[in-house]
Structure 1
Amino acid sequence: MKQPDSARTEAISVRNEFAPLREVVVGANDPDGLVMPLSYSAVKYIRLSPEEVEFLDRNAGRPVLDVYPPEEVHAVTRELDDLAALFEADGVRVHRPRPFTDAESRYVVPGGAPVFARDPIIVVGSAVIEASLMIPGRRKEAFAFRDALAARLAEDSEACWIAAPPPLPSEFDIERPDGPGPFLEGGDVFLLDDDILVGDSGLASNRAGVDWLRRHAGGRRVHQVQLADTWLHLDCVLAVVRPGLAIAHRPAFTGGLPDLIADWEVIDATEEEARAMGCNTLCLAPNRVIVPSEHTRLIGELRRRGVEVVDDISFAKVSQNGGGVRCATAPLVRG
């Protein structure tokens, strides 16, 4: 078993989804100071029952630990810690965020948590990008990662640190997704060397965000991928396992699979598997992928195709909160 070398410094660089993983940021959820979001009642992809909407609206703005049993909250934290430990055992250097300050936790509107590192942090080549998130309660999430990023960037004189323009103040309206933007979220962004796929369901990244990324992508071709508006991000319905092999929930792609991967072999995921974050996997290297143990059918399909599957962890508790292992991980170094 490899041991991480915390003194090792490599140039920040990510060019694709599958090159050997060297360094990551993994989300954390220290529940102290976290507060419930204002409302999810308008966010269609979450598919809440009327009872769940009423529960969230009734508890909006309250401390998380006053609403949920502490053991349930800490179960999420344990799964994130297990993921970080898996990376470290594989020789991957791991950074974690700090908790929100009180002021940060209530910035813009209550809500948000530094669990899903992928969304506020996007690395394209040697550029570290702070994204611009659509849901107001999530717009603060980059704050929790800034200390770790600043320390890491101090080690790398070649990397740059930029931010997408912050959204203009406005009333959040899920029915007007193009709003003031631009919106760009890491869960929508897939790097494939000289090409970048960016999902657009109208619930996260939008056309203005795609256009902004084109100007900062170092000459890479950026392709907008239309998704049904019941899916938040592209990585909810797509996984790149190795060049030529993917997992996808095809009905989510309103215009069909992107041309870039249309001739790849695709393992079809059911809607139930995609909702449970079965497509939300993460490559440790080409043809070597982390898939949580609960996704037994997809693991079997991958192994039948000669893929080395690392299924040493469960991520079911985190996934119940809307994200998987890719969501929780922002790569800083691959290659």
Structure 2
Amino acid sequence: MLHLNVNDETSRLRAVLLGTARNNGPIPKPENAYDPKSLQHILAGTYPKEADMINEMEALANIFRAYNVEVFRPEVLEDCNQIFSRDIAFVIEDKLIKANILPDREEEFDAILHVLEYIHPDNILYPPEEVHIEGGDVMPWNNYIFIGTYTGHDYPDYITARTNWEGVEYIKRMFPHKEVKSFELRKSIANPKENALHLDCCFQPVGKDKAILHKNGFLVEDEYQWLVDYFEKENIFEITADEMYRMFSNVFSISPDVVVSERNFTRLNNWLRDRGLTVEEVPYAEISKQGGLLRCSTMPLIRD
């Protein structure tokens, strides 16, 4: 059996579900793009090649194995993008919550049923249909659960709005002993530098008390300021619009002392090392063209 346990973003990782880029399918048509960054690369003819993305994900898998992390992978589906495992489900404490995702991505969940067999059925939660929530918007952090959301009246018009108010309320009901703190995110279909697809596109804790933040990703300045006050300014790495676009906040922690980061994130990687963290660098720039990076493609199952 898998005894799920995730209470924060940085405790020592023991088991993880890592997506796969195999059999990724043809380049999507522009009208089928899920996010503005993918659309940009589809139109520019720079959409990533499957072989390059497979190599990037294998480099990440090798780092996990070097740290004795058990790595699960989804079953490979025909012509299906299965890179972003964080979108299909996520773990809080000992519960795995199925994400209610875009309808045409439903089969991605079926591809991890072989992993769910190791989890007690009582520990798998299936939210009702009106609850929209994706793992990229959900961050357990000790006594808190941070959630990115978009509650504008035009929510249905945004394919980039993934977590609704019902999603926030559902997590409050399921985890009444936690303090759930929601953050309104800036959404754009047209401009990838103005679009925070998920909370982890503009914010992420690292180490024990540090955070990566992008102010413009938040619609409400007071909510952004709450995070600044909570982590304290000297512990915050503030990223630019270009760095958000390149997914600087979407790194992934193996432990409070070890962060996996994209090898080209020089400014961030130096900042982390200056603060005593070990930075494991991987090539992940091709995957980032699809609007996701390291956190998006990993779903932690067990952290100490």
- The alpha carbon displacement at 1:255 in A equals 1.4
Separation in 2 of the partners of 1:143 and 1:277? 28
| Residue number in structure 2 paired with 1:268 | 238
Conserved in 1, the CA contact under 8 Å of 2:12 and 2:256?
yes
Q: Which moved more, 1:201-210 or 1:114-123?
A: 201-210
Q: CA RMSD in A?
A: 2.7
Conserved in 2, the CA contact under 8 Å of 1:129 and 1:163?
yes
- The alpha carbon displacement at 1:158 in A equals 8.9
**SS of residue paired to 2:283:** coil
- Does residue 1:255 correspond to 2:204, yes or no? no
Separation in 2 of the partners of 1:300 and 1:23? 28
Please give the per-residue CA displacement for 1:115-170, whole angstroms capped at 9, x wherever unaligned.
1111112101000111111x3333332121122222x22xxx5961122224xxxx
| Residue number in structure 2 paired with 1:15 | 7
Separation in 2 of the partners of 1:100 and 1:163? 22
| Residue number in structure 2 paired with 1:128 | 96
Separation in 1 of the partners of 2:142 and 2:196? 25
Matches for 1:164-243 after TM superposition, within 5 Å: 164-166=127-129, 181-201=130-150, 202=155, 203-217=161-175, 219-229=177-187, 230-243=195-208
| Residue number in structure 1 paired with 2:259 | 289
Amino acid at match of 1:182: V
Conserved in 2, the CA contact under 8 Å of 1:11 and 1:158?
no
**When the two structures are aligned, how many residues end up with a matched partner?**
283
Amino acid at match of 2:95: A
Amino acid at match of 2:135: G
Change in Cα spacing, 1:207 to 1:39, as seen in structure 2 (3 Å) is farther
| Residue number in structure 2 paired with 1:298 | 268
Please give the per-residue CA displacement for 1:79-98, whole angstroms capped at 9, x wherever unaligned.
11211111011110010000
Conserved in 1, the CA contact under 8 Å of 2:86 and 2:296?
yes
More helix by share: 2
Give the structure-1-normalised TM-score: 0.77
Separation in 1 of the partners of 2:94 and 2:57? 26
| Residue number in structure 1 paired with 2:125 | 162
**SS of residue paired to 1:198:** strand
Conserved in 1, the CA contact under 8 Å of 2:10 and 2:254?
yes
Matches for 1:75-114 after TM superposition, within 5 Å: 75-100=52-77, 113-114=81-82
- The alpha carbon displacement at 1:44 in A equals 6.2
Change in Cα spacing, 1:51 to 1:295, as seen in structure 2 (3 Å) is closer
Give the structure-2-normalised TM-score: 0.84
Change in Cα spacing, 1:160 to 1:125, as seen in structure 2 (3 Å) is same
Separation in 2 of the partners of 1:38 and 1:231? 22
Which residue, out of 37, 60, 64, partners 1:46? Answer: 37
| Residue number in structure 1 paired with 2:158 | none
- The alpha carbon displacement at 1:47 in A equals 7.7
| Residue number in structure 2 paired with 1:142 | 109
Which residue, out of 60, 83, 87, partners 1:115? Answer: 83
Separation in 1 of the partners of 2:35 and 2:126? 28
Separation in 1 of the partners of 2:186 and 2:83? 25
| Residue number in structure 2 paired with 1:29 | 21
Which residue, out of 226, 246, 253, partners 2:211? Answer: 246
Q: Considering Cα pairs closer than 8 Å and 6+ residues apart, tell me whether 1 or 2 has the greater RCO.
A: 2
- The alpha carbon displacement at 1:316 in A equals 0.7
Q: Which protein has the larger Cα radius of gyration, Structure 1 or Structure 2?
A: 1
